[in-house]
Structure 1
Amino acid sequence: MSPNARSTPGLAWIGIDLGTSGCRAVAIDETGRELASARVSLAEPLSPAPGYYEQDPELWWHAVLDTLTQLGAALTDREPAAVCLDATSATLLLATPDGDPCGPALMYNDRRAVAESALIDRVAPPESPARGPSSSLAKLMHSSGRYRHTGPARALHQADWIIGRLTGHLGVSDWNNALKLGYDAERLRWPDWVQALIPEGVGLPQVVAPGHPIALIDPMLADRLGWPSTVQVLAGTTDSTAAVIAAGAVKPGDAVTCLGSTLVLKILSERPVTASACGIYSHRFGDAWLAGGASNSGGAVLRRYFSDAEIVSLSLGIDPEHPSGLDYYPLLGPGERFPRNDPDLAPRLSPRPSEPQAFLHGLLEGIARIEAEGYARLAELGAPPPRRVTSIGGGAANPTWTAMREHLLGVPVMNAEHQDAAYGVALLALRHSAR
């Protein structure tokens, strides 16, 4: 090669994870190796009244731009090939056809749409994920009445709106984000009962598979970021689904347990599993389904009684093969949703031993039993039993707890090499973009 010749730069595939407290982006190469990452914090959503949680969508956009600018500066010898994005499930806003928000976005945990939820309950199938005041559909109906729009408006999830800003191509969603808006991911259509509830002048998004190419990046944005105009932007997914992709679940029976503040179970199934009363529903996941549920138990209970350092040090002296002799159901307060649907279920945390190590043993064992009961409950409803469990979240780093859980579950339990949702959507970009 002559001294003046320039080598063709390598390519990078970028995943963006947009949450409530920050935006993170990861770039990977063609082998899945992480090349660079960046993160920008977000102000907490506003809560103007109990059960109300809202945020200005423009904050998301500025966070995404700042994150991509940081990431691009680190990719000195790589050109972005494709971008994919995940965001919080059931965070929704109304926007004009040009993408201008009609009002604040209602966040995933906003519960103000009680009256609208009652209207949905009259016509929705009993197992529909669109039921409940936190559903995207209830938020759409509420927002249409509260945030007046003089012309047509679009219902857009958090991921949908950002993808629209990246491309200038608004009005596209994906199987996973659209689930709580009432989309039928089995038949791949909007049901008639959903169409009948949509207020006049509000358009539902077109729904495509996660990873489906939507459009090339907006040329002005590409110029601003210093990227080629050939960068593809792909349909996204929800944050929890992206984390499962990152963890490496690929076959039915592959399960992922998130040991965070709460205990979240996900398992790949050949068919959808739904039990709305227990908060169990399924995301379409390629040719399979990702079924799951979330318990109110989890790491938040542990942190009520122990610091992170205490959990680490005390766990070292616990024999995971030896039962604690305690029958705990660890909860912060009354009420459980999965694997038991009992709003009045009381925490069971007695008797309490005088030795802190023995108490921690009982707590860890109690949460592990809830995990085992959760997978058994999913299997009762039609999911396969887990063939292996991959752990993500803060609790995954505790080897004593891992061994305890493996003993109770009777299958291999391992820590995920990657558990970042941004890494998961970067993989989605790599797998689905044209090279």
Structure 2
Amino acid sequence: MSGVAIGIDLGTGGARAALVDPDALVLATGAAPIAPTRNRDPGAWWHAVARALAALRGRASLAAACALAIDGTSGTVLPVDAAGRPLGPASLYNDPADPENVASLVDILPATSAAHGATSPLAKFLHLQYLPGLARMLHQADWIAGRFTGQFDATDENNALKTGYDPVSRRWPNFLSRLSADPARLPSVHPPGTPLGTILPDVADTLGLPRRTIIAAGTTDGCAAFLATGATEIGEGVTSLGTTLTLKQLSDTPLFAPQFGIYSHRLGDRWLAGGASNVGGAVLAAHFEPAVLARLSAAIDPAVESSLDYYPLLRPGERFPIADPALAPRVTPRPDDDAAFLHGLLEGIARVEALGYNRLAELGGPPLVAVRSVGGGALNATWTVIRARVLGVSMRPAAAEQAAVGAARLALAALS
């Protein structure tokens, strides 16, 4: 079966939709915002999805759409009744869980579990499972998929990870019983990109989609963004050069190192591992306005190594690739020449990037073979050359940056 596919990326700020052809080339995109005051309202989510699809339909025909997949914000959860009706507002990814429930996980969960932490969805479930009328706790992408299919009982392996799902054994683990957690109130788990069902006829007609459209298991926003780049080779990395530096690498083995914030999402028989540093674009923005940054970058010879040894942090503390909450910023000495100073900052961040990929290799990951870049820093050609020299690998172009395109790739997988 072949045809075009739709991906929907749902976040706290809005919904984005992408239409791709069988080769994952983007045909059209659409978007709709969610008001900050309504980002916990699932009705606002669905309204934004409908408006994003309407915007998409205004730019391209959806008559050939055969499949659709959704990615959502990792860790955002929603309690629902048996009919899928929300029993209250959603708990966002950064909303704190009850401290006692968080503490109860420490001695029972493996140290490598992604369900630890102050905002743990599993800790939230320990509270929500006693909510009157609760049938299931769903993740954001799960509930939207349920609005399409009418079935509110499924999730994907990536969204389930922070709720305690074991991606290695591919099941909800036995330790849930030790927490007095009822797994029957958690959704069944499916690999990303597998068919969950067919769109409801009335929903298809309302949204202008074909009644044959397959709804596929989705993923998290971070995984979807990686998939959008087109990285498919074991050892390929994707570096996000935004406010902070985030690395993800495709691996043939799972990596778990909670001391560095590293855990692995499952993508079929492959794994997506990575970590996030505190260095990044925020450091550059603290010293230079965008126009000045562009002008100074053009004055740098990226083939020449800087003599400065910087670890460019805004404030003390690092999480990956060095786990040290007291690690001091190193941005001195500062030369009189601003271009030389910027050269040192750019190269310093590149060295942290290289150290990050080396850390993944030390933990059992594959050798780095190439890197694709996303985020604002990816547009800096001088920095790209510096990074290629420091990393010692080729820099491949990202096919796309929008997470909705990654979700659409999963929808295409459901057609194969």
Q: For this structure pair, what is the TM-score category when the shorter chain's length is used for normalisation?
A: over 0.9
Other-structure match for 1:34 = 26
TM-aligned CA deviation for residue 334 of structure 1: 1.9
Structure 1 segment 75-224 matched on structure 2, within 5 A? 75-76=60-61, 78-144=63-129, 149-197=131-179, 199=181, 203-224=185-206
1:350 has 2:350 as partner: no
Higher relative contact order (CA 8 A, sep 6+): 2
Aligned pair in 2 of structure 1 residues 386, 165: CA closer, same or farther (>3 Å)? same
Counterparts of 2:177 and 2:128 in 1: how far apart (Å)?
16
Question: CA offsets, 1:316-340, max 9 Å, x none?
Answer: 1111122222222112222211101
Contact kept, 8 Å, 2:62 with 2:209, in 1: the verdict is no
Q: What is the identity, as a one-letter code, of the residue corresponding to 2:5?
A: W
Query: Secondary structure at the residue paired with 2:286?
Result: helix
1:408 has 2:371 as partner: no
Counterparts of 1:334 and 1:43 in 2: how far apart (Å)?
34
TM-aligned CA deviation for residue 109 of structure 1: 2.1
- For 1:58, which of 43, 46, 56 is the aligned residue? 43
Aligned pair in 2 of structure 1 residues 62, 154: CA closer, same or farther (>3 Å)? same
1:383 has 2:368 as partner: no
Structure 2: 5+ residue runs without aligned partners?
A: none
- For 1:266, which of 226, 248, 251 is the aligned residue? 248
Query: Secondary structure at the residue paired with 1:228?
Result: coil
TM-aligned CA deviation for residue 368 of structure 1: 0.5
Query: Secondary structure at the residue paired with 1:429?
Result: helix
1:364 has 2:363 as partner: no
- For 1:327, which of 303, 306, 309 is the aligned residue? 309
Contact kept, 8 Å, 2:63 with 2:210, in 1: the verdict is no
Q: What is the identity, as a one-letter code, of the residue corresponding to 1:71?
A: L
TM-aligned CA deviation for residue 429 of structure 1: 1.0
Deviates more, 1:416-425 or 1:72-81: 72-81
Q: What is the identity, as a one-letter code, of the residue corresponding to 1:98?
A: A
TM-aligned CA deviation for residue 77 of structure 1: 6.9
Contact kept, 8 Å, 2:87 with 2:134, in 1: the verdict is no
Q: What is the identity, as a one-letter code, of the residue corresponding to 1:254?
A: E
1:23 has 2:5 as partner: no
TM-aligned CA deviation for residue 90 of structure 1: 1.0
Counterparts of 1:37 and 1:124 in 2: how far apart (Å)?
41
Counterparts of 2:240 and 2:21 in 1: how far apart (Å)?
26
Counterparts of 1:128 and 1:167 in 2: how far apart (Å)?
31
Structure 1 segments (4+ residues) deviating >6 Å: none
Other-structure match for 2:217 = 235
TM-aligned CA deviation for residue 199 of structure 1: 4.3
Query: Secondary structure at the residue paired with 1:162?
Result: helix
The CA RMSD over aligned residues, in Å, is 1.9
Other-structure match for 2:283 = 301
Counterparts of 2:114 and 2:29 in 1: how far apart (Å)?
34
Aligned pair in 2 of structure 1 residues 291, 385: CA closer, same or farther (>3 Å)? same
TM-score normalised by structure 2 residue count: 0.95
Query: Secondary structure at the residue paired with 2:29?
Result: strand
Query: Secondary structure at the residue paired with 2:107?
Result: helix
Counterparts of 1:66 and 1:169 in 2: how far apart (Å)?
22
Aligned pair in 2 of structure 1 residues 222, 303: CA closer, same or farther (>3 Å)? same
> How many aligned residue pairs are there?
415
Contact kept, 8 Å, 1:116 with 1:133, in 2: the verdict is no
Counterparts of 2:166 and 2:79 in 1: how far apart (Å)?
21
Structure 1 segment 268-283 matched on structure 2, within 5 A? 268-283=250-265
TM-aligned CA deviation for residue 363 of structure 1: 1.4
How many percent of aligned residue pairs carry the same amino acid? 50
TM-aligned CA deviation for residue 144 of structure 1: 4.5
Q: What is the identity, as a one-letter code, of the residue corresponding to 2:72?
A: A
TM-aligned CA deviation for residue 182 of structure 1: 0.8
Q: What is the identity, as a one-letter code, of the residue corresponding to 2:215?
A: V
Aligned pair in 2 of structure 1 residues 353, 143: CA closer, same or farther (>3 Å)? farther
